[in-house]
Chains A and B, each alone.
Chain A
Amino acid sequence: MDISKEFRERGRVDILLRQIRQEATEKYIFMEVCGGHTTAIHSYGIPGLLPGSINLISGPGCPVCVTSESFLDHAIALSAMPGILVATFGDLLRVPGGGTSLEKEKAAGASIIVVYSINEALDLAAKNKDKMVVFLAIGFETTAPGTAAGVLDAGKRGLANFFILSAHKIMPPAMRAVVEGGTNVNGFICPGHVSAITGSGIYGFLPDDFGIGCVISGFEPVDILQSVLMLIRQVNRKDPGVEVQYTRAVRPEGNPKAMNIMKQVFKVSDQWWRGFGTIPGSGLQLKPEYEKSDAGKVFPAPPQRQPVESLCMCGSILRGTHTPADCPLFGTGCTPADPAGACMVSAEGACHAFHKYTMSL
């Protein structure tokens, strides 16, 4: 079943574009809050296909982009400690922090190992009983259940040398912060894989409290265009709601087993997001009964340093108040090869996607 191909089919793209042109009678600003959508929208050239009255902007959907420098400083400090191996997703490697990055430290000999899955980090701990393995746990609801399963597994396998440093975040409070921060967004393209876990109910506050509609979307061009059309119809009907376009992967109830494992291991906490500061109840930290696996508790953070002044506008780009092109550094002082800010580092960052797919045209 190579069903993904069917959702890239040119004929269907044309059908949807024609329908969108017919029905787009107002001005629309739709925000996606998923790095996967940012990449898909730009790599398929969707902004150029849509009528000028439809503006697609990126919100705080790239976990690497919203991760704090202090988290990175903590990870880098751990990697310099004797006896510690830091296991990280590759996405975090190049994020600049305090004049260095995990990549630079790794090149200089720090014990940093790139893994695709927490399961690889657990195997690393099993094979290196004389070392302490710290897994850098970042990501939204899509990724957090896997981390939770890994923490439970570490217990079952008796891996007392396995720890996580959690910067896990949850999406709804950040979406609320975008809206409460003042925005003219009139529809959200909601993250498909977060929703595959959580279900569709978590977005109900957007239509109910703010009158803003949502469509949970897949990641192929047909998915995104159909989601845009569904949002246009919600705006035109003045009837905002939560709809699911990505029905092949998202059920209303989500994945209850994954949610239960996540809730068993994590408790909701305040979290710092680039561009927003601390958002109450937007993070996930280990519950007290799992604290022995919490690198944040076992290995305290280094003292906070003064943030370096920068012209980087990553923060306001993540809030949706500015676009990458508004930033004075974009394309000159900040490029994918030599990034100044997190939004340019991650392949899912708005600046990176914009630079890669729009600047090169």
Chain B
Amino acid sequence: MCLSIPVRIVTIEGGFATVSFGENTYRASLQLLEGMKPGDYVLLHAGFAIQKLDRQEAEETLRLIDEMQDLSDGKSGSDQ
């Protein structure tokens, strides 16, 4: 029900955006967000863009996980 999907804003006109996901496009309302521009990724929920997605934050989350691997590799290296 709270399902929201990441979509990319293609064009903006009159408070609505054409957003794309895969090969599909949809007309999404931008009433709930300020300052969106084409190229931004947003979460689409029940016809509304509800939040902008932050790529840097995503990369940081992934980096922290990848570091766990490096740490454990480093540990097993020193044990040998």
Asked if A35 meets B1 with Cβ closer than 8 Å, knowing A1-B41, A248-B53, A248-B61, the reply is: yes
Q: How far is the CA of A342 from the CA of B50 in the complex (A)?
A: 27
Task: Tell me if A117 and B1 are in contact (CB < 8 A).
Answer: no
Q: How far is the CA of A138 from the CA of B53 in the complex (A)?
A: 25
| Shortest distance from the beta carbon of A199 to any chain B beta carbon, whole Å | 10
Task: Tell me if A247 and B1 are in contact (CB < 8 A).
Answer: no
Within 8 A of A (CB), among B4-34: 4, 6, 8, 29, 31-34
Q: How far is the CA of A63 from the CA of B1 in the complex (A)?
A: 7
Residue of chain B at shortest CB distance from A194: B2
B54 at the interface (CB under 8 A from A): yes
* Interface size range on B against A: 20 to 34
Task: Tell me if B58 and A197 are in contact (CB < 8 A).
Answer: no
Residue of chain B at shortest CB distance from A222: B65
Asked if A196 meets B68 with Cβ closer than 8 Å, knowing A3-B58, A255-B50, the reply is: no
Task: Tell me if A15 and B46 are in contact (CB < 8 A).
Answer: no
Task: Tell me if B4 and A193 are in contact (CB < 8 A).
Answer: yes
Asked if A257 meets B33 with Cβ closer than 8 Å, knowing A3-B55, A116-B46, A248-B57, the reply is: yes
Chain A interface residue count, CB cutoff 8 Å, equals: 53
Within 8 A of A (CB), among B27-80: 29, 31-34, 41, 43, 45-48, 50-51, 53-55, 57-58, 60-62, 65-66, 68-69, 72
Within 8 A of B (CB), among A238-263: 245, 247-251, 255, 257-258, 261
Q: Would you give the 0/1 interface string for A1-44, flagging 1 where the beta carbon is closer than 8 Å to chain B? A: 10110110001100110110000000000000011100000000
Cβ 8 A contact of A149, one of B3, B32, B43: B32
A residues adjacent to B (C-beta < 8 A)? 1, 3-4, 6-7, 11-12, 15-16, 18-19, 34-36, 62-64, 89, 91, 116-120, 138-140, 142-143, 145-146, 149, 153, 191-194, 196-197, 222, 226, 245, 247-251, 255, 257-258, 261, 346, 348
